[in-house]
C-alpha cells in the first residue's frame, strides 16, 4: 500500500520516533503548526475516523494515555495544548493520526 505513514512505521522511510509501543508511534510533524507538533500514529493502517470500529477502544485509550504522558514530558499542562483529529477534506494523509499541538501555534492544522 502506498501510504507514507505505513512507510515510516515499517522503516522504509527512516524516522526517529519520540515514542513507540506495540500499537503506535509518535514523531514530529514535518510541517509544524505549533512550538510542539507531534503526530500520534497507530501502527495498524486505519484510514481515518470513519474506519474506527467497535474494537478500537483499547487503541483510543492508549492514544490518550500517550497524549497525557507527552503533555507531562513537555511540561504542557500549564501551557496551551490541543489534540486534533482531522477528517474528511481536512485530512491529508489517509492513515489515522492525532496531532498534539503545544505552546503557541501558527495556524490550525
Ligand atoms: P492531516 O491534514 O491531519 O492529514 O495531517 C497530516 C500531517 O502529516 C501534516 O501536518 C503534515 C504531516 N506529514 C505529511 N507527510 C509527512 C512525513 O513524511 N513526515 C512527517 N513527519 N510528517 C508528515
Distance (angstroms) between ligand 1 centre and the Cα of 94 equals 10
Superfamily of domain 4-105: HIT-like (3.30.428.10)
- Which residues are annotated as catalytic? 97
Ligand 1 atom 19 nearest Cα: 30
Q: Where are the beta strands (DSSP E) in 51-106?
A: 81-84, 98-105
**pTM for the full model?**
0.96
Residue 95 or residue 109, greater confidence = 95
Q: In sequence order, what are the residues at sequence separation of 6 or more whose Cβ sits closer than 8 angstroms to the Cβ of residue 30?
A: none
Residues with CB under 6 A from ligand 1: 4, 27-31, 86, 91-93, 109
Contact 39, 27 (CB under 8 A): yes
Retrieve residue 106's grid coordinates: 501558527
Q: For the chain, what percent of residues have pLDDT higher than 90?
A: 88
The residues spanned by each domain of the chain are 4-105
Amino acid at each position: 500500500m502506498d501510504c507514507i505513514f505505513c512507510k515510516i512505521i515499517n522503516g522504509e522511510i527512516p524516522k526517529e520516533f519520540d515514542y513507540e509501543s506495540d500499537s503506535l508511534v509518535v514523531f514530529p510533524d514535518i510541517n509544524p503548526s505549533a512550538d510542539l507538533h507531534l503526530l500520534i500514529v497507530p501502527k495498524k493502517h486505519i484510514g481515518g475516523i470513519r474506519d474506527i470500529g467497535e474494537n478500537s477502544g483499547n487503541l483510543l485509550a492508549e492514544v490518550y494515555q500517550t497524549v497525557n504522558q507527552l503533555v507531562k514530558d513537555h511540561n504542557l499542562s500549564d501551557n496551551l495544548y490541543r489534540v486534533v483529529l482531522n477528517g474528511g477534506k481536512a485530512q491529508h494523509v489517509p492513515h489515522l493520526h492525532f496531532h498534539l499541538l503545544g505552546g503557541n501555534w501558527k495556524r490550525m492544522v
